[in-house]
Amino acid sequence: MPLNEWLYLVNIRSNISLLLTNMKNQHSQEKTGAEDIFWNLSDLYASPEDDALQSDKTELRKLADNYADKYKGKVEQLSAEEHADALREYEQIISLAGKVGSYAQLIWSTNTEDPALGKLLQESRELSSEISQKLVFFDVEWLKVDDKKASERMASDALKPWKHYLVTSRRYKEYTLSEEAEKVMSAKSVTSRSAWNRYFDETLGAARFELDGESLTEQQALSKLHQPDRELRKRAHQSLTDTFRDHSRTLTFVFNTILADKYTNDKLRGYESWITSRNLANEIDQSTVDSLIDTVTGKYELVQRYYRLKRSLLGYDKFYDYDRYAPLVKTQKQISWQQARERVLEAYGDFHPEMKRVAGKFFDNQWIDAAIRPGKRGGAYSASTVTSVHPYVFMNYDGQLRDVQTLAHELGHGVHQYLSREQGELQASTPLTTAETASVFGEMLVFNRLMDSLDDPEEKLALLMSKIDDTIATVFRQVSMNRFEDKIHSARRTNGEQTTEQFSDMWYETQKDLYGDSVEITDDYRLWWCYIPHFLHTPGYVYAYAFGELLVLALYSSYRSGQPGFEESYLDLLKAGGSDWPHELVKKIGIDIRDREFWQQGLSLFEDMIEQAEELASQLEDKTKMK
């Protein structure tokens, strides 16, 4: 990918799960023990005033200048050994840039209302753009190397540690501009895409939602949608809509601007469609994406079948959009931070001691920020930072079972990122299609351990329904969002700027396709496209969630069936990071993601979960009749 895009990702390199976890976390008045769980970022920098931070910025500029002096105009003539030396120096610069950018992003996300931290973040992005402009020649010159000569060079032993990076980078040959044009693209990105994304984050970070006499953050208000009190869910839904409506003009403008910015960039680079660049980054072809989308949309009936079951179990005549995350149980036991820690580590340890050992480091070394506080960004993510340091986990822990699952999810990312560091800066990160593998697998480990420990059919059903809710959110809802993305990008490119109502119409249409007549979609819900960050931060991201969930269902099925050597093969998969094509990596565990039947297999396993829920519900009904 172009260097300016690469450094942009380095600057915010996180497997962000805001979209899902915004819908998972809850707010309560009781203390959980997570109120004092703050991360210690000193492995990056001691503070924003740290002298080391300032000296690293100076050193970064110096390294970039020296690199340009040494290699500019010479890439085509490099020997394989010289090219290897150049890549080592390149990784050193990227690592330092990533360290500066990661620190700024992480500390800002804990208090988006602090202007000083916003300034620090902006400065880091401007520095990233500056470095990109200094180094972009290396990308451009490498892509100009004759294909035959490039193939011979990549086949050498000297370049073996970077072979996959070099191979995949050449796929951008026809989409890379001249050096001067790439410099302009990098320079303008600071005041276009990244600036509008920051404005979006800070707008919603500062927004307050009035509910029952309280002024809540978006995170706290969204959490109410999981409460057993239906009237509370309805009031929370209204509160969210009211504030979204207050900001709708601003948010509509932000959406239109970022959509237009992407269209301009795509045209300049010659990308065939709005999703082409994402597929390239995901190392996946459009036919595989189409197969995934077609298979999932073809099974929307499973979602509708499930919600009819849930409506029946809750005893509702009508099932509204604010009822989707209603729990079956009327009271929900709070889970302390210590209990969550124990549950996740025990589940990881049951699978493999190395998983538990690495995950334990996050707790022992203060690599987690879990406390809910004003100004803190909503949701959760795991930031890989740079290979010379370690990942950090960010979440908002509120003591509910879903928060335990979120912790398992983000620690899955963290373990993956920690183990893949051995691949080096250019090959440690995975495409988004496989980035969710370890996180969702971690959730499955915890979920199934809990299920195996329960004997009461009512408790098992409540937990199973919760998991099905999450799977719908991860697979089907994400694909419906992909359909919305496809519509808004196409509309913006064909018909120009869109109104709030036009965006809302497209949102309603794609949500109606998903839910059919199983869910009554309120007029208020038509506006709920406006708060979802993935559409803006990472266009095209959402289908990767469905990809990851269905992949993990297949992987977990292999594990539970007792496939010999699975645990070690799985760890090898994590350690491999992005050092090979996704389909080649998972093939080593017996999974063929290029087979159209693969997606159907995952959905069949999901249907089994629904059938299990129906069976448990039937048992409970029979039990009630016997009393």
**Average pLDDT across the chain, whole number:** 91
The C-alpha angle 63, 69, 74, rounded to 5 degrees, equals: 120
What is the percentage of the chain residues whose pLDDT exceeds 90?
Answer: 76
Check whether 625 has a pLDDT greater than 80.
no
Q: What's the whole-number mean pLDDT along residues 333-346?
A: 92
pLDDT of residue 14: 43
The length of the chain in residues reads: 627
Q: How many CB atoms lie within 10 A of CB 76?
A: 12
pLDDT of residue 328: 85
pLDDT tens per residue, range 417-440:
999 999 999 999 999 888 889 999
DSSP string, 292-353: HHHHHHTTHHHHHHHHHHHHHHHT-SS-BGGGTT--SSSS-----HHHHHHHHHHHHHHH-H
Amino acid 538 reads T
What is the C-alpha separation between 583 and 611, in angstroms, rounded?
30
pLDDT of residue 311: 96
pLDDT of residue 7: 46
Computed from CA positions of residues 414, 418, 419, 425, in that sequence, does the dihedral angle turn out positive or negative? Answer: positive
Residue 173 within a domain: yes
The domain in which residue 74 lies consists of: 3-13+41-201
Computed from CA positions of residues 383, 389, 390, 394, in that sequence, does the dihedral angle turn out positive or negative? Answer: negative
pLDDT of residue 334: 83
Residue 559 within a domain: no
pLDDT tens per residue, range 400-410:
888 999 999 99
DSSP 3-state of 270: coil
Residue 281 within a domain: no
Q: What's the whole-number mean pLDDT along residues 600-604?
A: 89
Q: Is 385 left (phi over 0), alpha (psi -120 to 50) or beta?
A: left
Q: Are strands 392-394 and 368-369 parallel, antiparallel or unpaired?
A: parallel
Domain count, the chain: 1
In contact, 514 and 300? CB cutoff 8 Å: yes
Check whether 18 has a pLDDT greater than 60.
no
Residue 566 within a domain: no
Q: How many CB atoms lie within 10 A of CB 280?
A: 17
**Least confident piece of the model among 51-55, 57-61, 203-207, 388-392:** 203-207
Q: How many CB atoms lie within 10 A of CB 590?
A: 12
DSSP string, 473-531: IIIIHHHHHHHHHHHHHHHHHHH-S--HHHHHHHHHHHHHHHHTTSSB--SGGGGTTTT
What is the C-alpha separation between 503 and 210, in angstroms, rounded?
25
Residue 546 within a domain: no
Check whether 348 has a pLDDT greater than 80.
yes
Check whether 17 has a pLDDT greater than 80.
no
Burial label for 250, CB within 10 Å (0-12, 13-18, 19+), is middle
Confidence of residue 627 (pLDDT cuts 50, 70, 90): low
The C-alpha angle 15, 18, 19, rounded to 5 degrees, equals: 110
What is the C-alpha separation between 541 and 549, in angstroms, rounded?
14
Residue 261 within a domain: no
pLDDT of residue 323: 97
Residue 364 within a domain: no
pLDDT of residue 482: 97
What is the C-alpha separation between 566 and 558, in angstroms, rounded?
8
- Mind spelling out the 3-state secondary structure of 66-96? HHHHHHCCCHHHCCHHHHHHHHHHHHHHHHH
Residue 263 within a domain: no
pLDDT of residue 564: 92
Please state, in angstroms and as integers, the Cα–Cα distance from residue 524 to each residue in 205, 320, 322, following that order: 21, 11, 10
Predicted TM-score (pTM) of this structure: 0.85
pLDDT tens per residue, range 529-546:
999 999 999 999 999 989
Identify the CATH number of the domain in which residue 142 sits: 1.20.140.70
Check whether 138 has a pLDDT greater than 60.
yes
